[in-house]
Amino acid sequence: MKKLLNTLYVTREQAYLSKDGQNVVITEDGVQIGRYPIHILNDIICFSYLGVSPALMRLCSENNVGISFLTPQGKFCGRVIGTENGNVLLRRQQYRMADSEESVGFVRNIIYAKGLNSKRILRRCLLDHKDKVNTTKLEENIAKIDGCLSKMKESDEKDTIRGYEGIVAKTYFDCFDELILQQKSDFYFNERSKRPPEDNVNSMLSLLYTLLAHDVGSALSAVGIDSYVGFMHTDRPGRMSMALDMMEELRGFMVDRTVLTMINLKIVKDNDFEKKESGAVLIKDSGRKKIIEYWQKRKQTEIVHPYLKEKVKIGLLPHVQSMLLNRYIRGDLESYPPFIIKE
C-alpha cells in the first residue's frame, strides 16, 4: 500500500518558498520560518502571494512533489507537476470511454454512491440526535433520496443520472442545517453558495472541497489517469473534470463530516471568519490553520475499505479509488467500485 506522505500547507500570505540543497525553505521578510526535507513531502499547497523559486519548482518536479497555488481565500489558481505517470494506452482508453456511453456505468456508480452516502449521513444524525433535530424533515428527505436511488439504478443515460444527482444534492443540503448541533447562531446553512461563500459553513465547505480536489487530482496523476478528462463532468479549459467526478463519492465522508465535527466540537468559532460588506465570508488565518490542522489529523485515521476489506488511512482514499479506476479503465474490473460509507 502507498505510504501517506506529508502535505506542506503554506498559509502565511507573505511567505516565499525556495530551495536549499534537498530542502524546502520558507522565508518571510527575509527570515527563515520553516525548513522541510523534500523526501518527506508528497505535495505543497501554497496560499501565499509571493510564490516559489524556479529552483524549488525543479526540485519538486524531479521528486514528483506537486505544487498547488491558491489565493489566501482558498480559490484554486494553478498547479505545477513533474513528469506524468502512466502509459499512452491507458489514456487512449480513458479518452475513448469519455467520448462514448461506455462510461455510463462509472457515472451511475459514483452518483449512486454519493446519494447513498448522503442518505447515510442524514440517517446517522437522525439515529444519534433524534431529540435535537427535525425528525419529520430528515425522514422525508431520506425517503426522497431513496426514491432517486431506486430510479437511478435503472438509468443508462448520463443526462438522466446528472438530473438525479442534482435532486439528491438539493435534497441533502436542504436539511444540512439540521446536522449542525452547536453554535447555531454563528454556524447555519440555508443553501450552497460558492463564489463567494456567504456564511461560515459554506466558506469551510469551499476550502475543503478545493483541498480534496487537489488530493484527488494528485492521486489520479500518480496512477496515470488524466485528471482533466472526466466521464461525468464535461470538459472545460483548466478544470480537472475527472477529479471532480471522483470527488462525488468522497465529499460527504471526507469533507462534510469534517466540517460538521469541527463546528459541533467548537474547534472553529465565529471569530475565525471575516464578513465583508459585499456579503462574502472569508476564513481568517487563524481559522484556516485550525481547519487544515484538523483535516490533516483526520486523514491519518484508519478505516476498513468497503471493497478491499483492508485497513487504509482516510487520506489514502483518493489514491485507492484512483487505483480502482485505473483497473476499471484497463478492463481488469467489470465495474468501478465506488467508496460507500459503512452504515
Which pTM does this prediction carry?
0.82
pLDDT(74) > 70: no
Domain with CATH 3.100.10.20 in the chain: 6-80
pLDDT(97) > 50: yes
From CA 139, how far away is CA 86, in angstroms rounded? Answer: 46
From CA 294, how far away is CA 53, in angstroms rounded? Answer: 29
Instruction: Please give the CATH architecture assigned to the domain spanning 88-108+179-330.
Output: Up-down Bundle (1.20)
Per-residue model confidence (pLDDT) at position 340: 92
In this prediction, residue 219 has a pLDDT band, given cuts at 50, 70 and 90, of confident
Instruction: Report DSSP letters for 197-258, one per residue.
Output: --SHHHHHHHHHHHHHHHHHHHHHHHTT--TT--SSSPP-TT--HHHHHHHTTTIIIIIIHH
Q: What is the pLDDT of residues 24-56, one digit of tens each?
A: 999 988 899 888 998 888 778 787 767 889 999
pLDDT(225) > 80: yes
Buried b (16+ CB within 10 A) or exposed e, 197-208: bbbbbbbbbbbb
Tell me the β-bridge partners of 23. 20, 37
* Closest C-alpha to 145, from 110, 175, 118: 118
Domain with CATH 1.20.120.920 in the chain: 88-108+179-330
Q: What is the pLDDT of residues 137-194, one digit of tens each?
A: 999 999 999 999 998 888 888 889 999 999 999 999 999 999 999 988 899 888 888 7
pLDDT(209) > 90: yes
- Percent of the chain residues topping a pLDDT of 70: 95
Which residues 6+ apart lie within 8 Å of 247 measured at CB? 209, 212, 213, 216
Per-residue model confidence (pLDDT) at position 67: 84
Classify domain 6-80 by CATH number.
3.100.10.20
Q: What is the pLDDT of residues 289-315, one digit of tens each?
A: 899 999 989 988 999 999 888 888 898
Per-residue model confidence (pLDDT) at position 75: 67
Which residues 6+ apart lie within 8 Å of 174 measured at CB? 141
* Closest C-alpha to 80, from 68, 70, 72, 71: 68
From CA 115, how far away is CA 249, in angstroms rounded? Answer: 8
